[in-house]
Chains A and B, each alone.
Chain A
Amino acid sequence: MSGESLVAVLVLLPVATAAASLAIKDERLRRLLIILPSGALIAASVLLLVQVLENGPLTFTPSGHWDSLILIIELVLLAYFVYVGVVRKHLLVLGLGATQLVLFALFKFAWLPSGFKVQPAFHIDLLAVIMCLVISVTGSLIVMYALNYMQSHERHLKLGATRQHVFFFFLVGFLGAMNGVVFANSLLWFFLFWELTTLCCYHLIRHDLTEEAEQSGLRALWMNLVGGLALVAGMSLAYQASGSLSLLDLTGFGTVAPVMLLPLALFCFAGFTKAAQVPFQSWLLGAMVAPTPVSALLHSSTMVKAGVYLVLRLAPGYEGTYLSAGIAVFGAFVFMITSVLAISQNVSKRVLAYSTISSLGLIICCAGINTGLAIAAAIALIIYHAVVKGVLFLAVGIMEQSIHSRDIEDMEGLVTRLPALAGMAIIGMVVMLFVPFGVLFAKWAALQAAAAAPTVWFSLVVAFLVIGSAAGIVFWVRWIGRLMSHTAAGAGAPEAAPPEAEPRGSLSYLVVAGLLAGGVVLSVLAAPLVSYLINPAGAAMGYSPALDTAGWHLKTSFGFFTPWVLFVVIGAALLLPALLVRVRTEDIRPVYLCGEHQASSAGGPVFTSLGDQAVLLATGGFYWSRVFGERSLNVWVNGAGIALLAALFVGVIV
């Protein structure tokens, strides 16, 4: 297949599938209809990768009247946002939507010469293909997971009429829009796909149609419209400065001289809103009300990744400028502060949300550091984070349906109650947190890049990074500990869960296991991944490859480690005891309860109370919310975020 048709498949097939799933009411037919194209999507993205690896970047403009079509859809879309604002009586949405519509119409009809075309419309380099792989593979797997999830979700909600067709319309359509975002070179096209993701996100968040869901959806909408507005403003400024609306020109690869920084800053600002960076984090936290597959999709492969993709894509354009340093400080600050905020959260999905925002902050920080090593770290982080966050969200989704709670406190001892699922979640968290897994490799590279960066500002960045990663240890380890706490203490072997509690062969379980296996394998193969994908992707963006992978080491100019050796050593240090340690049942003793323990029950240790009653022992986690909580920190966090952004813009304008 030619590259052009692959691109057409990747963008249009999800849209077509979405449209079909809207029309088809039959459950089984829709299942089939969604699973088959998902496979096709994965295959197409792999083929595209092969093609780009062989022939270099793919650049083309589709023939036909696409420009007019896209313009019409764009205007309809913006009008729809205004309509939403009117119907929901939401002034912010209305105002922002209307401003955006007017500005865009003015820009398009009054400013741009008629028949203005951006050549090429698509420019697909290795970075775009990596993003496309992340979107297509992770996204498709999440869609498959959603097939099972939505059935029990609707059973749980006891809905009268099913709304699954609408759900899958937006869910699958999302993938097409995302692929469009990463492929587009023309900013006019980019803008359309960008706004389409906003639309899908809005509808997916409000899917359950509860009051809370509506409010969260509207909040997500207006915050993303702020970003859209920045995008329109950026486009006009960029056109005024350079007469071009091509991303290639903006990043200095085109024929036109690089433009001034302000439009780039506006584009990055749009990226920040989409990536839910401080002070816009509340829309992503609110998005938790949506069904879990939506959260998984928003967090791992789509939506927020569009934001960081834009910042990363523009990185060559602002290399070595004030803007670059500002973005690095801002990203590092977000990385730190959201990790700290996550310590105070006891709702699993909110912890995951904060951790997502913090990882995105790290990616943005890497883009701001803007050296070859930092860009490599950013790309690696995008890949690993997408896979692992997918695992964690999907696992939490299954847990939520099994234990009917999303509170970490209620997840105590899941390792005995749902061993397979809890095991996968724990490994997923370990992949997020500990060496030798991929996320840590990216952190390692990011720290080195920040340390080696040229200006004094980067000392601050390093300080933010180290505090943020220490905070990450706290909330992940506490959560893992909660999952692993054995409830049955008396007997040696934990009581086995009844097999019917865990449908291990079901599609949902397979998806989670598949993603997790992907994350682990990619971590072991970090060196080949770097040498075949990440280094060339950085090189295509104009950065010299900073990681030497000869002999499967990962080597920078300042340090090195060998992922597979660390895997063997650390794996042996943990697995050998797990396999070899033998404990006899008669050596098991009850826990120390000041001598007041009784024979423990199935539910856990029991002690004698003051009133001579047998009381089941309960333990809880500490969340230190008076120190790290949102109530005490949010004012400062948002204030500092706004101040940093303001400093960014003031510096750029001055």
Chain B
Amino acid sequence: MSLTELLIGLAALVLAPFVGGFLRGVDRRITARMQGRIGPPVRQPFYDFLKLWGKAPSLPNRASLVWVWGYLLLTMVTVFMLFVGQDLLIIFFVLAFAAACLAFGAYSVRSPYAHIGAHRELLQMLSYEPILLLTVVAIFLQTGTFMVSGVLEHGQPLLLTLPLAFVAVLVALGIKLRKSPFDISASEHAHQELVRGVYTEYSGRTLALIELAHWYQLVLILAFVALFWAQPLWAGVLLALGAYFLEFVVDNVTARVRWTWMLSISWGKGVGLVLLNIVLIQFVFSSARV
């Protein structure tokens, strides 16, 4: 790892919460506009964060706080790894560990709502993990490397040869960001979900930490989307923002689905699309293969 990479990684760690929080604010604003409302100011997520940070401590037990810290720190590790150009597979493995920490925190309390939320969180992981990992493999088939740094050096935009995989990633993005119709473990908005699903027992500072982790996660996922058009960089950023905007639209026009439906969409259609794309690569674009 060179010094420049290290600096980029550290800069990402510092800037990601601001970018992520800002994007969440934009999300709430645009969502409100789509519903014919004015909506909160764009800096609203930061107000929420600061307010939560200033609340008096109130916890169900110590373990839940420890796991939330683990969730935040591991998510930060994945962001750092992505921006210094590490192995994509390892990044997603660490991300799975981070997501599991959130479930562990919910499991550590004997609370019916948190437990149901944690179970549903697991179902969400069951749904999006295969899509993400399979897409990483599809990217590998195009670029010949699992390293983010290698993908960045790949000259041709990946979206041109991996359009179907990109669609599948959009599905995974919706599940990972807990957007409708896949907001079954908890919702990013104030939608009600068995009290608050996996977050039920968290409050105050703990909840603020979760919010912070979500901002990091948002940056991570969008950066992954941006890899589909990595050169030039602005195109990737535009692509990621476009994908994020598409999620708002879907979020606003759909209702929550049952988990079996989510699973059949992600395994049947999502994984199927990536597989189809991989087969296409090998037959149609075989000359481009490394």
Contacts and interface: CB of A to CB of B under 8 A. Distances in A.
- A contacts B: CB pair < 8 Å: yes
Interface stretch (B27-35, B70-78, B233-241): B70-78
B107 A481 contact: yes
Nearest to A572: B73
A519 to B, nearest CB: 17
A447 B118 CA distance: 28
B129 A619 contact: no
Contact of A470 (B70, B112, B129, B137): B129
B7 interface: no
A432 B279 CA distance: 31
A481 B87 contact: no
B100 A573 contact: no
Main DSSP-derived SS at the B contact region: helix
A474 B275 contact: no
Contact of A588 (B60, B129, B130): B60
Interface in B131-183: 133-134, 137, 140-141, 144-147, 150
Given A566-B90, A577-B65, A473 B96 contact: yes
Given A448-B146, A474-B125, A489-B110, A459 B70 contact: no
Contacts of B57: 583-584, 587
B60 A591 contact: yes
A477 interface: yes
Contact of B97 (A412, A459, A487, A570): A570
Contacts of B150: 558
A561 B282 contact: no
B104 interface: yes
Contacts of A467: 130, 267, 271
A419 to B, nearest CB: 12
B211 interface: no
Given A489-B110, A570-B77, A477 B147 contact: no
A588 B61 contact: yes
A413 B110 CA distance: 9
B130 A583 contact: no
A434 B92 CA distance: 11
B70 A577 contact: yes
A434 B100 contact: yes
A451 B59 contact: no
A619 B147 contact: no
Contact of A573 (B73, B119, B274): B73
A484 B108 contact: yes
A489 B109 contact: yes
Nearest to A340: B126
Contacts of A486: 61, 63, 108-110
A588 B96 CA distance: 29
A76 interface: no
Given A471-B126, A485-B108, A573-B74, A477 B103 contact: yes
B130 A619 contact: no
Contact of B66 (A434, A440, A577, A584): A577
B122 interface: yes
Interface string B67-102: 001100110110000000011111001101100110
Interface string A562-600: 000010011011101110010110011111110000000
Contact of B137 (A413, A451, A578, A583): A451
Contacts of B278: 459, 462
Given A558-B140, A559-B89, A592-B201, A494 B61 contact: yes
B200 A592 contact: yes
Contacts of B60: 489, 588-591
Contacts of A478: 107, 119, 122
B37 interface: no
Interface string A375-408: 0000000000000000000000000000000000
Interface in A30-62: none
Contacts of B146: 448, 558-559
Given A460-B275, A581-B66, A481 B77 contact: no
B115 interface: yes
A81 to B, nearest CB: 43
A444 interface: yes
A639 interface: no
Given A489-B61, A588-B60, A470 B66 contact: no
| Candidate in B58, B88, B133, B278 with the most chain A CB atoms within 10 angstroms | B133
A459 B164 CA distance: 15
Contact of B62 (A559, A561, A569, A581): A581
Contacts of A589: 58-60
A573 B78 CA distance: 12
Nearest to B281: A459
A447 B137 contact: yes
A473 B100 contact: yes
A282 interface: no
Interface in A434-449: 434-435, 440, 444, 447-448
Given A478-B119, A587-B58, A617-B112, 10 more contacts: A434-B100, A435-B97, A451-B140, A462-B134, A466-B130, A473-B100, A477-B125, A558-B150, A559-B145, A588-B61
28 contacts: A434-B97, A456-B279, A463-B274, A466-B137, A469-B133, A470-B130, A477-B103, A477-B125, A480-B107, A481-B106, A481-B118, A482-B107, A486-B61, A558-B145, A570-B94, A573-B73, A573-B77, A574-B70, A574-B101, A581-B62, A584-B57, A592-B195, A604-B110, A605-B110, A621-B115, A621-B119, A622-B119, A627-B260
